[in-house]
Amino acid sequence: MKKIIIANWKANLLPKDSLSLAKKYANLKKGAYSVIVCPDFSVISSLSSLLSKSSVTLGAQDCSAFLPGSHTGEVCASSLKYFGVEFVIIGHSERRANGETDTDISKKINNTLDAKMTPVICVGESAEEFRLKKTKTVIKKQLISVLRGLTSKQLAKNIIIAYEPVWAVGTDIFLSPEETIKICKFIKEIATGIGSLKLAVLYGGSVSSANSFHYLNNEAVAGLLVGRASLDYKNFCEILKN
Ligand code: PGA
């Protein structure tokens, strides 16, 4: 299976800037990696048409914990699916920092799987937890609480876990590839133990063209979740060259 590179544009761009960046992405030729781009909700519809004939797959940065109904301001998984979204980032540390709980995350995973999309579930420890060497304990707890509620049918579907140490996101500090490989193997072991059958574990957190090769070089790391380095097309292409 090809390794996966997910571009998370977060809320960095105005719609016009997302569209011009997406036009560049649309020129990417099929290569060694599967490329997924996650713009904000405001341009999901436009990017859906723009990328439809390209090698790039559309993803989203979140979805609602609710099913369609009277939930003002929410964007349901089924609406994302309608626009051709195939992957949904869930439980990003920037959302957890704004109060998202494991219960919300479980519901979002459920809705994403039921709408026939692949969840990209983010897990990771804080700087303090890392300092206290609690990484494995924290990740195990996060994985158990968000995967435990899934049915065996849901666990048989493609599930992506993105390991993102919170202290490495948006900081220019990253976890060494050696340590990352150990944690990715640990995640695979735990999630497989819970019953996940088609699991891919990615790394994210200050990935750049200077360090991406070292992560992608190992089979335990199925790909990368890239934030800032995905906002500059040239920079992003450098990662894809690795
Ligand atoms: P970063 O963000 O690459 O800018 O650190 C990664 C992420 O938040 O997914």
* pLDDT value of position 153: 96
Element (H, E) at 204: strand 198-204
- The answer to whether 92 is a known catalytic residue is yes
* pLDDT value of position 242: 74
Q: Which of 13, 89, 32, 2 has its CA nearest to residue 237?
A: 32
- The answer to whether 214 is a known catalytic residue is no
Q: What residue's CA is closest to ligand 1, atom 3?
A: 227
CA of 120 to the centre of ligand 1 (A): 14
Which of the residues 94, 100, 125, 164 is marked catalytic? 164
* pLDDT value of position 240: 95
Confidence (pTM): 0.97
Q: Report which ligand 1 atom has the smallest distance to the Cα of 6.
A: 9
* pLDDT value of position 138: 97
Cβ-based neighbours of 222, under 8 Å, separated by 6 or more: 1, 3, 4, 160, 184, 200, 201, 202
- The 10s digit of each residue's pLDDT in 194-207 is 999 999 999 999 99
Cβ < 6 Å from ligand 1: which residues? Answer: 8, 164, 169-170, 204-207, 225-229
Q: What residue's CA is closest to ligand 1, atom 1?
A: 227
* pLDDT value of position 1: 84
The one-letter amino acid code at 65 reads: A
Q: Report which ligand 1 atom has the smallest distance to the Cα of 172.
A: 5
- The 10s digit of each residue's pLDDT in 128-161 is 999 999 999 999 999 999 999 999 999 999 999 9
Judge contact between 30 and 54, C-beta under 8 A: no
Average pLDDT over all residues of the chain: 97
CA of 204 to the centre of ligand 1 (A): 6
CA of 152 to the centre of ligand 1 (A): 31
Q: Report which ligand 1 atom has the smallest distance to the Cα of 207.
A: 3
Angle at which helices 233-241 and 15-25 cross, to 10°: 30
Ranges of the chain with pLDDT below 70: none
* pLDDT value of position 40: 98
